[in-house]
Structure 1
Amino acid sequence: MAPKEARATTKSLRRHKEEDPWGQADVALERTLIKVRRGERFVSLFNSGPSPKGVGDAGALQLAQALRERRHQPDAEGLVSLQLRGNEAATDISNMADFAMPEVSVFVEGWGPPPNGKLDTPLGICDFVDHLDKFPVTRIGRICDFTASGQRFQAERGKGKGKDGKGKGKGNFQQVLQPGKDEEGFVTVDNRAIPGKSAGRGKSGGKSKGKGKGLQVNYQEGILGQKQKPFFQANQPQGKGGKGGKKGGAMRRGQPSYKEWSVQTRPEWTLMRELMLTSLSKLQIDSKAVKHEDVMWCGKLHTYSKSFDRLTTKAEKPMRRFEDLNFFNVTASDDPLLPELLQADPEVSVIATDHVLACLVAATRSVYSWDIIVSKVSNKLIFDKRDGGALDFLSVNETAQDPPNADDKDSMNGPLKLGQEASCINQNFSQMVLDPEEEAVDMEHPNPFEDEDEGSVASGAYRYRKITLPGNSKGATDFEQNPVSLIVRTEVNCKMPGATDSYMSVKALNEYDPKPNYNWRLHLESQRGACLATELKNNAFKLGRWTAQALLAGCDTMKVGYVSRQHPKDPWSHAVLGTQTYATDGFAEQIGLTRNNMYAVIRNVVDLVMSWEDGKYLLLKDPTKSMLRIHEIPWDTFAEEDDDEDDGEAEDDQELDEDGNAVPQRPA
């Protein structure tokens, strides 16, 4: 519509305004026409109306025509038909709904929503937020941990390439936003317990011995899982228990998590104390007043082979695997001798193993979570570990600046697989360094876990020692002021050649991913001191445990081997690159571990638990901070795991055919 025609139409309408009985409606339509001409009329898209851009000259002409018709049709309803670029749409302007903006409540007195927690919003979002705490399963609203995912994305950002090294530009974001991959870079902090799968029952497999729930830790039966079944696999067959012991099977309770708590706390547990580990490092006791007494020697000892002292990186030696030997790590309450020694000597108040006490002594160096069970009955303490728990494995690069990614559970370089690999290496290395030409020396008692029907056991001696710790004259109770005696089962791997009373502890460090700037094959010969310093930084907790075990066992010498993969992608084949010999006391001083602090930490924990009532207590290492939490737990805690073993005893004793089916027994 031309501007002149529009102005003429407007003037004509004004002349007939007073004569027209519908003048007021005409004025409204007239104003609408003027706004349309100026482009000021906005019809909300939320009400399915046309936008201002769609109203043109054709729309203005239609409005003018409607005004003319309205003068001659008083009963018209005032409908205006708008033609929008060839599309016809009828809109009832008079009955068009308005779009009301929602009101937003503002809490001006502080941060966040009002104290009542409810806002007048059309979606009722805040009402839903109030009930989020009642749904612990949902991941909405949980705190996110972006540290692990950030490291992965930081590695993928280089040169604009994606994860596969081929995509460019925005390839990383596309991978994250793809269905099924959106949670790979988003890690939630979930406090729920991960249900463990119970192991299948079989006639062969892990052979556990000893009274109670014995544990055979033969890592040779499978580690990383293509050549053999994974050691943690749910259907790992289990063997018969020996000497009254319950059924074995090392890792029947699922995979330990290095990133989360080793044990999920339960509501019925009572938190007794929170110990800051930094305070334990300040404790001191006069180690000269500590008395040691050998109670019993069990097993047999071989002599160390001097040929391993001549190994170099250019003359490395492939590592042998001793799959036909049985290795054991039985907890104190399941040891066939420790409970008897506790009852026989009224002066003894505590029994434990060197594995458990060494972990407690080196707790200030740990990062991952672990747990120790302490049972108190009639002023007697028993320090135990859980079979298949974190203490049954060795960590790798736990305290390193760039530790293994805890999210790579199935990767051969993940913390779980590396822990199994390190444990297997130490078992093989402890048997490999023995001199086959020297005859073994039998101790006064046989190996307490040996059973002729179950095969040969690994060479080594168990040294049961009575350790008496002096009292504190300033103690608050009589127990703290008086000396306390412990019986500890320690392990001795071999004896020094040419000496009768000089014993040795044999351990091995392993390299899994050589770097150009840190490669044992390149730097071990020329920079052996630098390599050891790096390992002290990356594996402070593991080396602290080994040193404490050697001190408790009375070993004069520590032999540390350097073992590396023959190929970085093959976790099964290893080679010994060299060894180093250290005096135990000198090595302990080098890493900052003293006898005064070691015995003081043990005495402090014993005095603390002795001050409480009889019960069962759990010492739980916090994975997020340097803290040790002590909970009082019911007596039947973790008993359901043993009940699962008892339910399958009949199946274990039953013969199976090739397909795994039970063979019917012939009646007598």
Structure 2
Amino acid sequence: MPIALSNIVQALPSDETWGPPTTSDSLVDGVPYAPYSKGDKLGRMADWTSGDKDRDGRGGRQQYNRNYRDQQVYGAGTSSLFAVQVAEDESSFSVVDNTRTSTKKVFGRGGAATFRGRARGGRDQRGGRGNYQNARVGGRGGQQGYGYDQRGGRGRGGRRFGWKDYDKPQRNRDSSVNIKPDWTMLEEIDFARLLKLNLDTSNGQDLDDYGFLYYYDRAYDKPPVKNTERKLNVVDRAAYNVTTSSDPIIQELAEKDEATIFATDNILSMLMCATRSVYSWDMIITRQGNKIYLDKRDGSSLDMVSVNENAADAPLEASEGNKDSINFPGALALEATFINHNFANQTVMESETSRLEMSHENPFYNPSEETEPLASKAYKYRRFDLSLEKDEDPLHLIVRTEIDAVVKNNISGEDQMLTLKALNEFDQKAQGSGGALDWRAKLSSQRGAVVATEMKNNSCKLARWATQAILAKADVMKLGFVSRINPKAPDRHVILGVMGYDPRKFAEQMNLNLGNGWGIVRTIIDMVRKMKDGRYVLVKDPNKQLLRLYEVPMGTFEEGDEGDEVAEGTAAEENNEE
């Protein structure tokens, strides 16, 4: 049965009324009374925007949202009195800002416009150039290729190196030699340790010389006549690059105990400049009693001339996505080796009556078997002292050095020894060019910039050439600049110019320290001297800056042995070249 509301009200005592009690005291049981209004609207159950100041210091949404700006919340000032004190520390708590930002470009006074190309995208808005910096190198637009214009785009002829480097695949090169399971790794030396070595040696002592030299043609020092380029011709001449242990002169010197260590300048320069190398290489070290021989195997990469090995973006292999077969690293090395052989033969004046004869004839030439005439070449056997104060017995090294030509000094009229080397330009727009300048346009006007770029892209190759010239005690090192007639024709070339340098001053320009090179040689030799008689292989890791020394069976790399088989990647590379 429903009960009427009036009956309930009448049943209440007269001193009790409906609602909160009326009292004059401000505190009831120690709790302050908060006034309220029947018109108050219930807010959100969890309103993160009201209350204390927002994280931006703007006082919450009440301070800036027009929906809450003029709304009066009755009793809001005392609501904090009933706030529950949370035991946990929430000072580190923050709200994720999910406010949308406008994608519309604003070009007004307060806009942050984005420009491309040569516009003012890198400058501040209004009021100066801001933090603008020009990172270009070598003239306008980063002509040397390793800088770029930070004003929003590439400079003229420049390239933005470092752009999306994180997205590039790791370069995984193949080893120059196939590491077999029966090889035992003895030492592992990183380049950081090698760079700290140093050994001061004398300038060397001449022991004997062989062969003959033609005189250099000075006409190549003059720049070519406009629209008339000198073609690089194929000059078939017999030249030899015999390994150390197969050299009959070194065998005689070893029998006479003239030295303890024997090498050729081609092999020794690679070891002395090892810290500049990027590609993999290997050499054979043989110990027989107290004699140590530094050799190369047949088909070794030491006989090839690399191209842009040290460039920031070196030429890619076919497996790395390079579709231009004529610009593979192996194909470029074969082309550069071909150029160097013909350049040295073409730039001399062949005359049987006007040539410089050495003390002995060429030790490798057999007239009854050879059909080609001999190339201009002199072999000088020189001895260097690598001894230290703590050594009980002296430690000497004999190296076979090479000289390519001779020239008369303009002032004194004396004969000066020359080495002839050639740099080659394949395609300045192709991948792997290293930001090289256009030689035809810049070689005559900006020779310094051209040479500086080559020092950067071919640091190891040029350091080896300078080292070989210093070991041979050559007076001048001639550098030729050879380019393709057409970027797509790797078998036809022209000589654009020749420059002469003092090898020692050239080494200083490259920051090449021969004392460090001798220190590397002495360190490797000391390792082998502590080991037993046998054969060892020193290999440059293809992907890391370190050397590894392996002990291999004595018959490795001999004729008929399969140990001289190169890595699969190198073999495939040679097939592409053929």
Q: TM-score, normalising length from structure 1?
A: 0.55
Residue 235 (structure 2) aligned to one of 322, 328, 335: 322
Verify the 8 A CA contact 1:521 1:577 in the aligned structure 2. Answer: yes
Partner SS state of residue 364, structure 1: helix
Per-residue displacement from partner, 1:207-257 (whole Å, max 9, x unpaired)? xxxxxxxxxxxxxxxxxxxxxxxxxxxxxxxxxxxxxxxxxxxxxxxxxxx
2:210 maps to which residue?
298
CA shift for structure 1 position 410: 8.1
Residue 285 (structure 2) aligned to one of 352, 374, 382: 374
Paired with 1:295 and 1:409, the residues of 2 have a C-alpha distance of 50
1:536 maps to which residue?
455
Task: In structure 1, give the amino acid aligned to 2:442.
Answer: H
Partner SS state of residue 375, structure 1: strand
Q: Is residue 2:252 matched to residue 1:340?
A: yes
Paired with 1:641 and 1:592, the residues of 2 have a C-alpha distance of 43
CA shift for structure 1 position 188: 11
Task: In structure 2, give the amino acid aligned to 1:279.
Answer: R
Q: Is residue 2:440 matched to residue 1:521?
A: yes
Q: Is residue 2:348 matched to residue 1:461?
A: no
Q: Is residue 2:222 matched to residue 1:307?
A: no
Partner SS state of residue 265, structure 1: coil
CA shift for structure 1 position 312: 3.7
Residue 563 (structure 1) aligned to one of 456, 472, 482: 482
Partner SS state of residue 623, structure 1: coil
Paired with 1:532 and 1:337, the residues of 2 have a C-alpha distance of 37
Paired with 2:550 and 2:269, the residues of 1 have a C-alpha distance of 21
Paired with 1:188 and 1:367, the residues of 2 have a C-alpha distance of 11
Task: Please list, as runs of the form range in 1=range in 2, the aligned pairs for 1:381-530 lying within 5 A after superposition.
Answer: 381-407=292-318, 408=322, 411-436=325-350, 439-452=354-367, 453-455=369-371, 456-473=373-390, 478=391, 482-498=393-409, 499-515=413-429, 518-530=437-449
Paired with 2:247 and 2:343, the residues of 1 have a C-alpha distance of 25
Residue 602 (structure 1) aligned to one of 516, 521, 525: 521
Partner SS state of residue 454, structure 1: coil
Paired with 2:514 and 2:464, the residues of 1 have a C-alpha distance of 13
**1:328–1:517: structure 2 CA closer, same or farther, 3 Å change rule?**
closer
Paired with 1:305 and 1:417, the residues of 2 have a C-alpha distance of 30
Task: In structure 2, give the amino acid aligned to 1:531.
Answer: V
**1:313–1:374: structure 2 CA closer, same or farther, 3 Å change rule?**
farther
CA shift for structure 1 position 401: 1.5
Identity %: 42
CA shift for structure 1 position 327: 2.0
Verify the 8 A CA contact 2:479 2:498 in the aligned structure 1. Answer: yes
CA shift for structure 1 position 547: 0.9
Paired with 1:260 and 1:639, the residues of 2 have a C-alpha distance of 22
Partner SS state of residue 639, structure 1: coil
CA shift for structure 1 position 640: 5.2
Partner SS state of residue 542, structure 1: helix
Task: In structure 2, give the amino acid aligned to 1:570.
Answer: A
CA shift for structure 1 position 599: 2.0
Q: CA RMSD in A?
A: 2.4
Task: In structure 2, give the amino acid aligned to 1:450.
Answer: Y
1:200 maps to which residue?
none
Partner SS state of residue 189, structure 2: strand
Residue 632 (structure 1) aligned to one of 551, 554, 568: 551
Partner SS state of residue 412, structure 1: helix
Paired with 1:507 and 1:561, the residues of 2 have a C-alpha distance of 6
CA shift for structure 1 position 469: 2.0
Verify the 8 A CA contact 1:291 1:468 in the aligned structure 2. Answer: no
CA shift for structure 1 position 502: 2.3
Paired with 1:409 and 1:297, the residues of 2 have a C-alpha distance of 47
Task: In structure 1, give the amino acid aligned to 2:518.
Answer: Y
Q: Is residue 2:184 matched to residue 1:270?
A: yes
Paired with 1:282 and 1:444, the residues of 2 have a C-alpha distance of 40
Task: In structure 1, give the amino acid aligned to 2:205.
Answer: E
Per-residue displacement from partner, 1:561-605 (whole Å, max 9, x unpaired)? 100001111111111101111101100111111232222222222
**1:458–1:642: structure 2 CA closer, same or farther, 3 Å change rule?**
farther
1:31 maps to which residue?
none
Paired with 1:326 and 1:351, the residues of 2 have a C-alpha distance of 24
Per-residue displacement from partner, 1:319-357 (whole Å, max 9, x unpaired)? 11113x12211100111211111111x241011100000
Verify the 8 A CA contact 1:313 1:577 in the aligned structure 2. Answer: no
Task: In structure 1, give the amino acid aligned to 2:310.
Answer: T
Q: Is residue 2:247 matched to residue 1:331?
A: no
**1:283–1:313: structure 2 CA closer, same or farther, 3 Å change rule?**
farther
Paired with 1:354 and 1:301, the residues of 2 have a C-alpha distance of 18
**1:635–1:415: structure 2 CA closer, same or farther, 3 Å change rule?**
same
**1:360–1:643: structure 2 CA closer, same or farther, 3 Å change rule?**
closer
| Higher-helix-fraction structure | 1
CA shift for structure 1 position 186: 10
Paired with 2:196 and 2:502, the residues of 1 have a C-alpha distance of 24
Verify the 8 A CA contact 2:356 2:406 in the aligned structure 1. Answer: no
**1:572–1:380: structure 2 CA closer, same or farther, 3 Å change rule?**
same
Paired with 1:560 and 1:497, the residues of 2 have a C-alpha distance of 18
Task: In structure 1, give the amino acid aligned to 2:206.
Answer: D
CA shift for structure 1 position 291: 5.4
Verify the 8 A CA contact 2:556 2:563 in the aligned structure 1. Answer: no
Per-residue displacement from partner, 1:450-473 (whole Å, max 9, x unpaired)? 111212221110111122223143
Paired with 1:585 and 1:409, the residues of 2 have a C-alpha distance of 40
Verify the 8 A CA contact 1:409 1:417 in the aligned structure 2. Answer: no
**1:633–1:559: structure 2 CA closer, same or farther, 3 Å change rule?**
same
Task: In structure 2, give the amino acid aligned to 1:428.
Answer: N
CA shift for structure 1 position 644: 12
Per-residue displacement from partner, 1:376-396 (whole Å, max 9, x unpaired)? 010110100011111110110
Paired with 1:503 and 1:188, the residues of 2 have a C-alpha distance of 41
Task: In structure 2, give the amino acid aligned to 1:592.
Answer: N
Verify the 8 A CA contact 2:436 2:453 in the aligned structure 1. Answer: no
**1:628–1:519: structure 2 CA closer, same or farther, 3 Å change rule?**
same
Verify the 8 A CA contact 1:492 1:553 in the aligned structure 2. Answer: yes
* Residues matched between the structures, number: 382
Paired with 1:313 and 1:357, the residues of 2 have a C-alpha distance of 40
Q: Structure 1: any 5+ residue segments left out of the alignment? A: 1-184, 190-258, 646-668
Q: Which has the higher contact order (CA 8 A, sep 6+)?
A: 2
Q: Is residue 2:537 matched to residue 1:618?
A: yes
Partner SS state of residue 486, structure 1: strand
**1:642–1:322: structure 2 CA closer, same or farther, 3 Å change rule?**
farther
Partner SS state of residue 287, structure 2: strand
CA shift for structure 1 position 514: 2.6
Per-residue displacement from partner, 1:254-287 (whole Å, max 9, x unpaired)? xxxxx20011211211111011122222211223
